[in-house]
Every structure is written in structure tokens, then in C-alpha cells.
């Protein structure tokens, strides 16, 4: 009766490499690491880069103009479409308020919807949701709800805090 070991491929990040190696031994799991800096990411084709507002499948960050509060979200659609929804929601008098609208009302702050940062781009929904979750956890003053990150194990949260 031979126990089959499982394997995972993770990006090579020096600060967390040893921790993952230690954890993998306790679960009889083999780890392989891949480089984040591959040659194809350095060599660009002749394809025109889309303007920010036309890009799709992105994780984005909207920052408050007056404090360090920020909101991280993701969308499959064009970023402009999602930002227009945020604008409309802020301008609408609704009982169903978003965290951005609540911050605006409570502190009389505006959000910089013209200079939204694109944090990541990912076609796969599951990978995009994971990336969004990680970026939410990396924020200093997040407006995102706790439910956005409640599925993340506390060990991963601690690793991310150590990296910050």
C-alpha cells in the first residue's frame, strides 16, 4: 500500500519559499516552483496596448482622494463599464449603499475614479477572484467587506502581513 504524494506548482517568492516547503512536508506534498519573470513577459509583441478604461478581466483599485482608504474590485467587463456603475451608485440616493458610497457620505470624501489603478489582469474567473482577494488583504486601509476575504486561511493572511 503505497501512499501517493500530491504536487503543487507555486510562483517562486523567496520570502515564503521556506514556509511552503515546511508545510508541504507535513502533508506529503511535493512542491515545484516557477519563475514569475519569464522571457515572454519581457518581450512584447507589436500589439497595441488598450487604454485602461477598455481593458477587461482586471482587478482594480479605487482610492479616496482625501485619505488612504481604498476599494479593490474585479470585473470581467470593460473597466469603464464597471466604473460607470460605481459612479451611478454614488450619485443615486439608495438604501442599498456600497462601501464607497458609505465612505463618501460618512466622511464627505470623493473617490478618484479617473485614476483607477489596474493591479492585475486575469482571464480565469477563479484566478481573478484569488488575485482580488490577495490584493484586498494587502491594502492598508481597505473599504472592502470582511466577506470578501473570509475564506482565506489565517496562515496565508499572516504570510501576507509578513511580506507587507
DSSP string of 73-104? EEESS-HHHHHHHHHHHHHS--SS--HHHHHH
Q: What is the pLDDT of residue 15?
A: 72
Regarding whether 68 and 18 lie in a shared domain, the answer is no
* pLDDT, tens only, 95-104: 777 899 899 8
Question: Which is it for strands 6-11 and 29-34: parallel, antiparallel or unpaired?
Answer: parallel
72 touches 119 (CB < 8 A): yes
- Domain assignment of residue 17, given as a range: 8-37
Regarding whether 122 and 75 lie in a shared domain, the answer is yes
Regarding whether 62 and 30 lie in a shared domain, the answer is no
Collect all residues with Cβ–Cβ distance below 8 Å to 149 and sequence separation of at least 6: 133, 136, 137, 157
Regarding whether 154 and 116 lie in a shared domain, the answer is yes
Regarding whether 75 and 26 lie in a shared domain, the answer is no
**For the chain, what is the domain count?**
2
The CA-based dihedral angle spanning residues 23, 26, 32, 37, taken in that order and rounded to the nearest 10 degrees: 0
* pLDDT, tens only, 22-65: 777 777 778 787 877 777 666 666 667 888 899 999 999 999 99
Amino acid at each position: 500500500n503505497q501512499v501517493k504524494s500530491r504536487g503543487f506548482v507555486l510562483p517562486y517568492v523567496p520570502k515564503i519559499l521556506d514556509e511552503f516547503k515546511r508545510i508541504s512536508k507535513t502533508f506529503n506534498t511535493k512542491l515545484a516552483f516557477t519563475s514569475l519573470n519569464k522571457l515572454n513577459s519581457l518581450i512584447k509583441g507589436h500589439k497595441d496596448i488598450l487604454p485602461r478604461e477598455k481593458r477587461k478581466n482586471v482587478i482594480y483599485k479605487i482610492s479616496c482622494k482625501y485619505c488612504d482608504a481604498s476599494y479593490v474590485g474585479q470585473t470581467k467587463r470593460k473597466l469603464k463599464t464597471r466604473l460607470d456603475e460605481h459612479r451611478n451608485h454614488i450619485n443615486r440616493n439608495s438604501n442599498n449603499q456600497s462601501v464607497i458610497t458609505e465612505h463618501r457620505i460618512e466622511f464627505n470624501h470623493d473617490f478618484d475614479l479617473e485614476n483607477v489603478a489596474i493591479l492585475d489582469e486575469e482571464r480565469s474567473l477563479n484566478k481573478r477572484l484569488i488575485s482580488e482577494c490577495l490584493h484586498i488583504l494587502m491594502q492598508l486601509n481597505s473599504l472592502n467587506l470582511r466577506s470578501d476575504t473570509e475564506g482565506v486561511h489565517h496562515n496565508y493572511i499572516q504570510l501576507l502581513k509578513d511580506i507587507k
